[in-house]
Chains A and B, each alone.
Chain A
Amino acid sequence: MATAPPLPQIPLVLDTNVFQAWSHQEESVRQNIADYEGFHKRFPALTSITVYEILSGFEKTIAKRGGTDERTVRGRDEALRLIQLSSMLPSGPSPSGVLPFDETAATIAAFVAGRLFERVAKRKTGPSFLRDIFQAAAALAHRHGVATRNETDFELIGEHLPPTHPLLHLALWRR
């Protein structure tokens, strides 16, 4: 049970931190996306967990301001467009580019979480670990790798994968 860098053929999902760097127009991520598009003819897929995370920030802000903030509403709508676009495009063997957190993903996540939580507590790793486990599980369930900046968490997850899905492909898209 391990992690390994992906071959170009492996479809990837964007971890939320990479998606946000892309939204901020960071040049290194733009280049990574361009390279990926050259091979796959689409941008990397998203998981339903990332969709939740992307939209949560907008919705929280909109709710806080009573829905009066036009710019945030517009940003949320643009994010929705991008999410919808991803869902309409097949990604690797998946007919949709928004990978669901389904039964297989839940089974993988339960296996990993069950073995990791004690260790997580000992290492004082933050509660966002659960999010990364869900993310990795959704990617694994649909035969994708993860493009992330969070090497430490995902490598630890990679050490606790089930025998049915023993390898997590990890693309480190650093700054």
Chain B
Amino acid sequence: MSGIREIEQSLIPSAAWLPVPDIEQVLVAAPVMFPVSLRKIRLLQVEFPEFGGAFGGPVTVDTSNIDSGVVIATARITPNLDLVMQLVGDSEDGPGSSTEATVEIRHRDSERRRALDVFVTYTLFALFGLSRRVDLQLHIPGIEPLVSLRFDTPLSTISQYLQSRQIAYRAMVIEQATHQQFGFPATRSAIEVATISFIYEAIVKRSFLWPDNYEGGIIRLPSSPEGLNELLALTQGNDLKSPPHQVSRTLWGKSVYLGVGTVTVLDAVIEDGDKLKAMMERGDGREVQVRIRSRSGRIRYDLPEAPRIGDEHWDPNTLALIDIESRLDAALVERYHTLAAATLAGLTEEEKAQVTARVDFGAAFLTREINGDNGLWQRLLRFLKFR
């Protein structure tokens, strides 16, 4: 019978706090000329034409502040979320003048945000940020004018929206599969992100590879002849598999049970093997910690009892926002490509070769030239002697 009960995963020693984009921010569009007075707006529809007609819909309009030149359009997105668009411009009866549009997503319970609400918010932020035009269809009989807005959002912010959206989506999956609800915190650490990814992989894949970023794992063996035999057996094998044991992770203060499963360190290496062997040979029955790591940096988790998520769990609106991911990614990566290409844009081939020529880091290798028989120093000495 094996003395190995479990391979304990080592923790990442430094838990960096990662920036989180402000979820309560107000997105500001570039000012635009409205073809009509704001006073005439009764109903408007927001559309993201580059991302398909599925994203958008009618919005209720409040004109009670129209004398101040303000129109507020509100759309209920989820039971907890409202999209609020404020238009500030001209209230006169003739064609409108320059109008400023702002958008924010208001959370009804900002103290305890749900993963779904965070996911929807960042998806919408990303849609506004990545759309080259956001169309406002103003339903005014006989005219039906269309106004296009543009929200110039920095690429770094859009990337952070998509990162936050991804994390929120994974938390949604974890909530649905485990029937637990988490309050989505306003801060985020690298460990939390890794934990969310781990639980998500367990739910979605059940058998998956996880990086052993040289923290490795620890197993405990008794200092005894049996322990020594086990250690010797470990050092001979390529992969080290734990016996089935209960696996769980703690996320935001709650334990998430992932069932009974196994952990296999692929291409396992025992650290300090000789020292451990000497400790085992003492045979005093004390527990000895054996640190193992994967030579190829891979650990396989087999968690067949991990919670499952049903196939038809999301409502059509949420599903549409989930399915838009590849298009959001494609839009973002195209902007990255454009920026990278801009570094060499307009240069001739010869100029490109000049600015991308390999930099010489050779100073450290000059010592032989300076100090060798025919080096600078010796040549200088010969020159001085000659003088």
Contact = CB atoms under 8 A, between A and B. Distances in A.
Contacts of B18: 90, 95
A127 B364 contact: yes
B346 A37 contact: no
Interface string A1-16: 0101011011000001
Number of contact residues on B: which range applies?
A: 35 or more
B359 A131 contact: yes
Nearest to A168: B297
Contacts of B213: 10, 143
Interface string A70-101: 01101100110110010011101111000000
B210 A9 contact: yes
Interface string B343-387: 111110001101111111110110000000000000000000000
Given A23-B344, A33-B336, A130 B364 contact: yes
B215 to A, nearest CB: 10
B187 to A, nearest CB: 12
A78 B345 contact: yes
A24 B329 CA distance: 21
A7 B298 contact: yes
B211 A9 contact: yes
A95 B17 contact: yes
A130 B69 CA distance: 64
A166 interface: yes
Interface string B67-97: 0000000000000000000000000000000
B209 interface: yes
Interface string A126-142: 01101100100000000
Nearest to A39: B166
Contacts of A54: 343
A117 to B, nearest CB: 8
Contact of B361 (A24, A37, A127): A127
Given A4-B296, A71-B347, A93 B190 contact: yes
A169 interface: yes
B330 A34 contact: yes
A163 B214 CA distance: 9
Given A37-B332, A71-B347, A166-B293, A7 B211 contact: yes
Interface string B132-170: 000000000000000000000011100110110010000
The majority secondary structure among interface residues of chain A is: helix
Contacts of A43: 333, 336
A49 to B, nearest CB: 9
B103 to A, nearest CB: 22
B339 interface: yes
Interface residues of A, number: 58
Contact of A127 (B162, B333, B357, B362): B362
Nearest to B342: A78
Contact of A23 (B16, B162, B356): B356
Contacts of B220: none
A58 B353 CA distance: 11
Contacts of B17: 95
| 7 nearest A-B pairs in the assembled complex, by CB-CB distance | A127-B362, A57-B355, A93-B190, A88-B156, A41-B162, A78-B342, A131-B361
Interface of B: 12, 14, 16-19, 154-156, 159-160, 162-163, 166, 190, 194, 197, 209-211, 213-214, 271, 293, 295-298, 326, 329-330, 332-333, 336-337, 339-347, 351-352, 354-362, 364-365
Interface of A: 2, 4, 6-7, 9-10, 16, 19-20, 22-25, 30, 33-34, 37-38, 40-43, 52-54, 56-58, 60-61, 71-72, 74-75, 78-79, 81-82, 85, 88-90, 92-95, 127-128, 130-131, 134, 143, 163-167, 169
20 contacts: A4-B298, A6-B211, A20-B356, A33-B333, A33-B337, A34-B329, A38-B326, A41-B159, A42-B159, A43-B333, A52-B359, A75-B355, A79-B343, A85-B339, A90-B18, A90-B163, A95-B19, A130-B365, A167-B214, A169-B297
